Amino acid sequence: MPIHEKSLIRPENLKTHDKLVLDGVDVSGHWSTFIEPRVVTDYNEKLEDEIAALPGGENIHRCWQCGACTNSCTVNAVNPDFNPRYWIYLIRTGMESELLRDKDIIWQCVSCHKCTYACPRDVLPEGVMKATAHWLELKGHTPKSKSMIFDEEFTEQVFETGKIEEGRVIRRFFAKTGQPLLQDWLLEMVKRVARRLPFKQGLLMGLATLFRPRTRGWAGARAAITEYVEEQQGRQRKALRLEETR
The site for ligand SF4 (CB under 6 A) is made up of 63-69, 72-75, 84-85, 88, 109-115, 118-121, 123, 125-126, 129
User: Could you tell me the smallest distance in angstroms from the CB atom of residue 144 to ligand SF4?
Assistant: 20
Is the CB of 66 or the CB of 169 nearer to ligand SF4? 66
Burial 75-94 (b: 16+ CB within 10 A, else e): bbeeeeebbbbbbbbbbbbb
Is the CB of 88 or the CB of 90 nearer to ligand SF4? 88
Burial 196-221 (b: 16+ CB within 10 A, else e): eeeeeeeeeeeebeeeeeeeeebeee
Q: Which amino acid appears at position 137 of this protein? A: E
User: Could you tell me the smallest distance in angstroms from the CB atom of residue 97 to ligand SF4?
Assistant: 22
User: Could you tell me the smallest distance in angstroms from the CB atom of residue 3 to ligand SF4?
Assistant: 14
Is the CB of 72 or the CB of 236 nearer to ligand SF4? 72
Is the CB of 84 or the CB of 94 nearer to ligand SF4? 84
Q: Strand ranges (DSSP E) for the chain?
A: 14-17, 21-22, 25-26, 29-35
CA distance 79 to 77: 6
Which has the closest alpha carbon to 212: 151, 154, 166? 166
CA distance 178 to 160: 23
Backbone angles phi, psi at 223, to 5 degrees: -60, -40
Q: Which helix (H) or strand (E) holds 40?
A: none
User: Could you tell me the smallest distance in angstroms from the CB atom of residue 125 to ligand SF4?
Assistant: 4
Is the CB of 51 or the CB of 157 nearer to ligand SF4? 51
User: Could you tell me the smallest distance in angstroms from the CB atom of residue 210 to ligand SF4?
Assistant: 39
User: Could you tell me the smallest distance in angstroms from the CB atom of residue 154 to ligand SF4?
Assistant: 21
Is the CB of 59 or the CB of 161 nearer to ligand SF4? 59
